[in-house]
Amino acid sequence: MATTDFERVPAVGSDADARDAGTIVLKFGGTSVGDPEKLKSVARRLVARREAGHRVVAVLSAMGKTTDDLLDLAAEVSPRPHPRELDMLVSVGERISCALAAMAIHDLGHEAISLTGSQAGIVTDTVHGKAKIVEVRARRIHEALDEGKIVLVAGFQGVSTSHEVTTLGRGGSDATAVALAAALGADHCEIYTDVRGVFTADPRVVPAARQLTRLSFDEMLEMASSGAGVMMARSVEVARSHNVKLHVRSTFEDAEGTWIQEEDQEMLEKALISGVVHQREETVYRVSGASRAQLFGALAEASVNVDTIVQTGEEIVFSAPVEDRDDAARTLDGLGLAWSSRDDLGKVSLVGAGMKSHPGVAAKTFATLEGAGIDAAVVSTSPIKIACHVPSTQVDRAVQALHEAFDLGSR
């Protein structure tokens, strides 16, 4: 059995000693700024908040599928694009959204300024493609806010300690927004997206999934790192470390969304299971004869995000995202190890803080999967999660079966 250890989050340099109730940080995802009309409607929303007296900072994602299109473009030009140049390319998407939103705000008679991640003072480490924020130097944002401007920050990007443009990994605008909320002392961070909040399962897979009212940071972190794409996992880590509450809500309606905050007694007594999350693909490696410290040290060095680790006897089994496959393979070959991998597996995970004090969840999970004729190749747990690697082709069916068995849609 393995537990998931989350990385320590480096301190986000905070310019605000006290929480500044007047500053709000809002983040809009790709669908929310998907076309010019949607951008204009985001601009109207921001102006309304400014007129209500807030100091408004908005973090925008690239419009619609822009990031995917830019990545495809790079792949057409080069089979293995240079990481520095790839970051120069894909960071452009977010700049487009911010510049256009600033124009739309000007037309509404308000002052606005768009900033790149670098201009906004988002300082990262030097790992291209999945850089981590190490510091926020928010001086320029404060100056613009003091001048009454609405500040638009390009999400997903920063400037490295060696002065290069970096990007933060897929979904990285969430991390930008949460880090800014922490640095600016905002009470909470509003995440506007294309669903009404966090659901008991991906509503695209389980149409009957139920919207959750509240979740603890730990639950959301487990859900996000197990595949619930609605929030980037690392952004939840930053929120937890700096105690920034998150409000995940819809861009297209005004309804209350899902609050993610510190766990309280009420949450613990509440649900046994908060959700069933999935990942359609995750590579599972088998390595024998390796020194654990050397193996995981080398993988960390290569920035491979190892998830599950299981060891029985000589053999070590671990999983990592498909995107990290090349780096993992190079590392394992470099260590001269005998290894194999499976690329036909995905993962389904049950997450819930109530699990801590309720026996029998694992038994029911296995019985449900068995009943559905689904074989779990690897099983791992944490105090609030049970994760099963199952064939990718059976992931959706596994999610639906577990959602139904634990009666998650009907409470």
Distance CA(337)–CA(333), nearest Å, equals 6
DSSP label of 6 = P
37 Cβ contact partners less than 8 Å away, ≥ 6 residues apart:
none
The type of residue at 45 is R
> Residue 66 CB, nearest distance to ligand ASP (Å)?
7
Backbone angles phi, psi at 347, to 5 degrees: -145, 140
Contact partner, 308, from ligand ASP, Mg ion, ligand ADP, none, Cβ < 5-8 Å per class: none
Site track for ligand ADP across 198-237, x = CB under 6 A: xx-xxxx-----------------------xxx-------
Contact between residue 262 and residue 220 where contact means Cβ atoms under 8 Å apart: no
> Residue 323 CB, nearest distance to ligand ASP (Å)?
11
Binding span for ligand ASP by CB under 6 A among 169-177, 199-207, 310-318, 329-337? 169-177
The type of residue at 98 is C
> What is the footprint of ligand ASP within residues 79-138 (CB under 6 A)?
93
Does 166 participate in binding ligand ASP (rule CB under 6 A)? Answer: no
> What is the footprint of Mg ion within residues 159-178 (CB under 5 A)?
171
Strands ordered across the beta sheet of 122-124: 133-136, 122-124, 157-160, 165-167
> What is the footprint of ligand ADP within residues 89-148 (CB under 6 A)?
none
Q: Strands 23-28 and 55-60, how do they pair?
A: parallel
Contact between residue 3 and residue 225 where contact means Cβ atoms under 8 Å apart: no
**Selected binder of ligand ASP within 31, 67, 200, 394 (CB under 6 A):** 67
Binding span for Mg ion by CB under 5 A among 23-31, 104-112, 333-341, 388-396? 23-31
> Residue 74 CB, nearest distance to Mg ion (Å)?
20
- Which residue lies nearer to ligand ADP by CB, 94 or 135? 94
Does 173 participate in binding ligand ASP (rule CB under 6 A)? Answer: yes
Contact partner, 172, from ligand ASP, Mg ion, ligand ADP, none, Cβ < 5-8 Å per class: ligand ASP
> What is the footprint of ligand ADP within residues 12-51 (CB under 6 A)?
29-32
- Which residue lies nearer to Mg ion by CB, 29 or 257? 29
The three-point CA angle 341-344-350 to 5° equals 105
Q: Which residues pair with 23 in a beta bridge?
A: 55
> Residue 170 CB, nearest distance to Mg ion (Å)?
8
> What is the footprint of ligand ASP within residues 1-30 (CB under 6 A)?
29-30
Site track for ligand ADP across 256-285, x = CB under 6 A: -------------------x-x--------
Give the chain's end-to-end CA distance (angstroms, integer): 31
Distance CA(212)–CA(226), nearest Å, equals 17
Does 34 participate in binding ligand ASP (rule CB under 6 A)? Answer: no
Q: Where are the beta strands (DSSP E) in 161-314?
A: 165-167, 188-193, 214-216, 245-250, 258-261, 275-279, 283-288, 309-312
- Which residue lies nearer to ligand ASP by CB, 156 or 406? 156
> Residue 252 CB, nearest distance to ligand ASP (Å)?
17
The neighbour count for residue 158, using CB atoms within 10 Å, is 32
> Residue 172 CB, nearest distance to ligand ASP (Å)?
5
Strands ordered across the beta sheet of 275-279: 275-279, 345-351, 385-391, 378-382
Of all residues in this chain, which one has the CB nearest to Mg ion in the complex? 171
> Residue 193 CB, nearest distance to ligand ADP (Å)?
3
Site track for ligand ASP across 273-302, x = CB under 6 A: ------------------------------
> Residue 222 CB, nearest distance to ligand ADP (Å)?
12
Closest alpha carbon to 35 in 91, 107, 97, 102: 97
Distance CA(47)–CA(31), nearest Å, equals 20
189 Cβ contact partners less than 8 Å away, ≥ 6 residues apart:
25, 26, 27, 177, 178, 180, 181, 239, 244, 245, 246, 247
* Site residues for ligand ASP per CB under 6 A: 29-30, 61-62, 67, 93, 155-156, 170-174
* Site residues for ligand ADP per CB under 6 A: 29-32, 61, 171, 193-195, 198-199, 201-204, 228-230, 275, 277
